Amino acid sequence: MKYLEGVITAMVTPFDADGSVNLGKMASLTEFLIGKGVNCLYPLGTTGECMRLSEQERKDVAETVVKTASGRVTVYIHVGAVTEEETISLAKHAEAIGADGIGVVTPIYFGMNEREISEYFIRVANSVSKNFPVYLYGIPQCAANDISVKVASTVAEKCSNVVGIKYSFPDVLKMDEFLRIRNNTFRVVPGTDRLFLPELAMGCDGVISGISCVFPEPFVAVYKAYKTGDIEKTRYYQRFATDYCNVLRNGANMSYFKKGLALRGVDVGVMKKPQLDLTDAEFNQYKLEVESLNKKAGELFV
């Protein structure tokens, strides 16, 4: 069983101007990230504009990433969808194509109580094999529903294949509580890029980072330095990682991600409407910021 560890890159989804998914560009992005040394790939999450894709498009993207990665890195597919039926269909598909595991966000938009959320996750986890790992995914600022420690504990107790949680709200005290589930064996991978170092220090396994889809280098450097025990160097690289987070607006607009990759020579297309690409003025200002930061962080790109 492979777990989410280290630099876990949340991948963007490339779209053509007509709104269709470009699988060739998805494969190229996969190769780019593997070449930069990330540890795991996590397509079709929030960074991947998952709720704007059809079920078939999501399956096509999942197959492309798994096939292209070909076992070189761990690949988890995010499968949370608007309906439970689609979520379970995507979960079964991820297992069938050879993904290493899945992430499942809470049901979105409509408010749900703890019993409803718990039973939802249990049904999804039971739809795949007992040895196929599942991570719960909490991002209350987008999904409307949060995951309490009680819910996570209940689901983990009833489903042995629920091995951890991706938690994308910057509450380190709650993350510490998650880490104590199942006799301190429950795995936690936050989605707060700016807290990579402190999250590692408190016992988290890594970070699921959208920023690392554009600039993986500082995050890879943070993790490598941390694993060697060089805290001063880890802090040094974390400052650059944080600077890149801020330049990319901390994921508030995924167009910054796609334009940032274009600046690196990696074409990942356009945003899926109704979201729009940056204006020329926004892009020109952004380009100046990126160039300035790249100059300061030059050693990371050698």
- Whether residue 137 lies in the annotated active site: yes
The partner residues of 15 in beta bridges, in order of sequence, read 21, 270
Query: Which of 137, 223, 256, 286 is the catalytic position?
Result: 137
Which entry of 9, 30, 46, 154 is annotated as an active-site residue?
A: 46
Assess whether 120 carries a catalytic annotation.
no
For tokens 């988890």, the residue is: 76
DSSP state of 297: T
Amino acid at residue number 203: G
CA 94 to chain centre: 16
- d(CA 240, CA 294) in angstroms, rounded, equals 10
Q: Reply yes or no on whether 9 is catalytic.
A: no
Q: Residue 286 catalytic?
A: no
Any alpha helices (H) in 148-187, and if so which ranges?
Answer: 149-158, 172-179, 181-184
Q: Is 37 left (phi over 0), alpha (psi -120 to 50) or beta?
A: left
Q: Residues 83, 109, 185, 228: which is the catalytic one?
A: 109
Which of the residues 25, 59, 166, 258 is marked catalytic? Answer: 166
Tokens standing for residue 167: 């938690």
Active site members: 46, 109, 137, 166
